[in-house]
Structure 1
């Protein structure tokens, strides 16, 4: 049985952030802090990550500014005056709370898509707060400023605007039906997101990260965000050159949301195996 706690905390600028904690009945072995993607929210991860929670991993997740319960339906896509940098700062505040609540347990940061972009920047600023890093649906580079690309253009005759998320049509339909899902950014928020992406791509920011930090990167090779792996392998190379302990897992045919893909059971089992090695 999984116990859910909903709580709020304040960012450094006083903004109220909605957050969740899920725990199972097994003794806690580590804590996972989730950073979700753009146009979605924390609650989407409870179902796919239930086997991991039940195995003894405490899961924390906050809805980023402009998303989910933090934003509500009227402010979706708006990070506010602090932009994406404030959302990354919120992640560090939550990490410090987790450290206080679970002293002695390893803390693993897990970022998906936009959350993975945030996590890449977080790693350069707050790496001392975490013991390991997981990235999914990620890339090493962002599109140049002003360039727009429809992710669905990679697929012939798409059924919906979000076919690029998963081969599982039921999961795509669930996403579309969710009033808190759907990618939308104010112009200012979109610009701030691209700016933090440029910082994450600067290898100089990795110089201070602890050598040997475990990193797990998993993607589908049909995820248009990584452009058939061309935009994610440089990230793997960058981290390995910086001395990080990188495990890179590629799923043939997989699209953007591997936790919601047709082979999700395999994906979650592989993730759990890596987590177990890291958590000891």
Structure 2
């Protein structure tokens, strides 16, 4: 298993903890953006697969998440989270100049990654979106009118068909198990609207992964958002029976194989001809 090291930097609203899984002479840099309430430590196996594929892998715990500073899961403006992610990308670019950068975002991290691509896509070689929060998210629609946020724990069976995933999630002290914060719900809604109004991603090669039994971020709502942002190079993989965390699903090897095959195609197309 690839070994990570942590580093810390001054984020927009407090200290941000980031991780890096280095590779010798990497073919590309993979930057990971995790989902709501979780942290990058849950992506060790993803990072390991990408390091074995030839990548240096890095990413932050978003503000208010994991080991980073801030009130838990409080985000008042997702542009701040995008700015923190940009700091990580630029640090990786400084360490590995002229090495292609692939951005991989899951769930809320898929929303963050999409917004990042809209603002900084010319610096990316490819974008991978796993169960991304885009378009219409019924969780935001349900919570936005409420004054008090319901404290209803997530049904961990919706994460994966593998019950050990839910058990580990429940036992993880760095995962947030409490209710949404109202400012975060407003910020999610604002970010989704901002993304939808910005337009397509142009020629950026994009891979969209989604489980067709995703009950946390349902496929139909995300498809609305994909249609708003899709550019001229979109690859879609919908996995029958898979739930929300496709990187943690019972067919995770297939999913990670699809990611690395997609990256191979992108890198081969971009390689200069002899």
Q: Secondary structure at the match of 2:67?
A: helix
From 127, 135, 139, give the equivalent of 1:140: 135
Residue 156 of structure 1 corresponds to: none
Give 1:76's aligned residue. Answer: 72
What SS class does the counterpart of residue 70 from structure 1 fall into? coil
Mapped partners of 2:203, 2:195: distance in 1: 19
Counterpart-to-counterpart distance in 1, 2:35 and 2:140: 20
Tell me the residue number matched to 1:105.
Answer: 99
Give 1:77 deviation, angstroms. Answer: 1.4
Q: CA deviation at 1:238?
A: 3.2
Distance of aligned partners of 1:236 and 1:187 in 2 relative to their CA distance in 1, 3 Å threshold: closer
Does the aligned pair in 1 maintain the 2:28–2:101 contact within 8 Å? yes
Alignment of 1:1-40 (within 5 A): 2-11=2-11, 13=12, 15-25=14-24, 27-40=25-38
How many Å apart are 1:128 and its aligned residue? 2.4
Q: Aligned to 1:235, which of 194, 204, 225? A: 225
List gaps (5 residues or longer) in structure 2: 145-153, 269-274
2:260 matches 1:272:
yes
Matches within 5 A, 1:155-234: 161-182=155-176, 184-202=179-197, 205-206=198-199, 209=201, 211-227=202-218, 229-234=219-224
Given candidates 256, 260, 264, the residue that maps to 2:248 is 260
Contact 2:30/2:50 (<8 A) preserved: no
> What RMSD, in angstroms, separates the aligned Cα atoms of the two structures?
2.3
Cα distance in 1, alignment partners of residues 227 and 188 from structure 2: 23
Q: 2:114 — aligned with what?
A: 120
Q: Matched residues in 2 for 1:144 and 1:269: separation? A: 30
* CA offset digits 1:100-158 (Å, max 9, x no partner): 11111111111100111111222222222322111001243233865149xxxxxxxxx
Q: Secondary structure at the match of 2:262?
A: helix
Please state whether the residue corresponding to 2:138 is helix, strand or coil: coil
CA deviation vs aligned residue, 1:30-74 (integer Å, no higher than 9, x gap): 0011110001100110123312211211111100001000038xx
Q: Displacement of 1:175 after TM fit?
A: 0.4
Local SS of the residue matching 1:68: coil
TM-score, scaled to structure 1: 0.84
Match of 2:148 in 1: none
Q: Measure how far apart 1:95 and its partner are.
A: 1.5
> What's 2:52 paired with?
54
Query: How far apart, in 2, do the equivalents of 1:244 and 1:180 lie?
Result: 38
Cα shift at 1:226: 4.3
- Kindly state the Cα deviation for residue 195 of structure 1 after the two structures are TM-superposed: 1.2
**Which string of whole-angstrom CA distances, capped at 9 and with x for unpartnered residues, describes residues 222-267 of structure 1?**
002443x322333343344xx4300000100000000111111111
Counterparts of 2:69 and 2:57 in 1: how far apart (Å)? 21
**Normalized against structure 2, the TM-score is what?**
0.86
Question: When the two structures are aligned, how many residues end up with a matched partner?
Answer: 258
Distance of 1:120 and 1:265 partners within structure 2: 24
